[in-house]
Structure 1
Amino acid sequence: MIRPIVHDPQQLNHRAAPATPADAAIITDLIDTLRAHQDNCVGMAANMIGQNVRIIVVLMGVLPVALVNPQIRQKRDPFATQEGCLSLEGERPTTRYQTITVDYQDQQFQAHHQEFTGFIAQIIQHEVDHCNGIVI
Structure 2
Amino acid sequence: MIHPIVAIGDPVLKARAKNLPADLPAAELQQLIADMLETMYFAHGVGLAAPQIGKSVRLFVIDSTPMVELDEEDIAEGVEAEPAIKRAFLNPVMVSETGEKWGFEEGCLSIPGVRELVQRCPDIVLRYEDENRQVHEEGFSGMNARIIQHEYDHLEGVLFTDKLSSFKKQLLKGKLARIGKGDVAHDYRMKFASAGRR
Please, what TM-score do these two structures have when normalized by structure 1?
0.90
- Verify the 8 A CA contact 1:31 1:64 in the aligned structure 2: no
By how many angstroms is 1:83 displaced?
0.9
> Could you tell me which amino acid in structure 1 is paired with residue 91 of structure 2?
N
Structure 1 residue 35, shift from structure 2 partner: 2.1
Deviates most, 79-88 or 108-117: 79-88
| One-letter identity of the residue aligned with 1:51 | K
Q: Does 1:51 align with 2:73?
A: no
Distance (whole Å) between structure 2 residues aligned to residue 8 and residue 127 of structure 1:
15
Distance 1:31 1:107 in 2: 13
Structure 1 unaligned regions, length at least 5:
none
Moved over 4 A (4+): none
In structure 2, the partner of 1:17 is 18
**Aligned ranges for residues 97-108 of structure 1 at < 5 Å?**
97-108=121-132
In the alignment, residue 103 of structure 1 is paired with which amino acid? R
Query: Which residue among 100, 113, 118 is the counterpart of 1:94?
Result: 118
Bigger share in helix? 2
* Matching residue within 29, 36, 39 for 1:30: 36
Report the identity percentage. 34
Residues 64 and 147, structure 2, Cα contact 8 Å, conserved in 1: no
CA distance in 1, matches of 2:139, 2:21: 23
Measured after TM superposition, the shift of residue 63 of structure 1 is: 6.2
Matched AA of 1:53: V
User: What is the RMSD of the two structures over their aligned residues, measured on CA atoms?
Assistant: 1.6
Deviation per CA, 1:76-119, whole angstroms, max 9, x where unpaired? 12223321001003113322111100000000111001100111
Greater alpha carbon shift after TM alignment, 118-127 vs 18-27 = 18-27
Aligned residue pairs, count: 134
Moved more, 100-109 or 15-24: 15-24
Q: Which has the larger radius of gyration?
A: 2
Task: Kindly indicate which of the two structures has a greater share of residues assigned to strand.
Answer: 1
Partners of 1:82 and 1:35 lie apart in 2 by 20
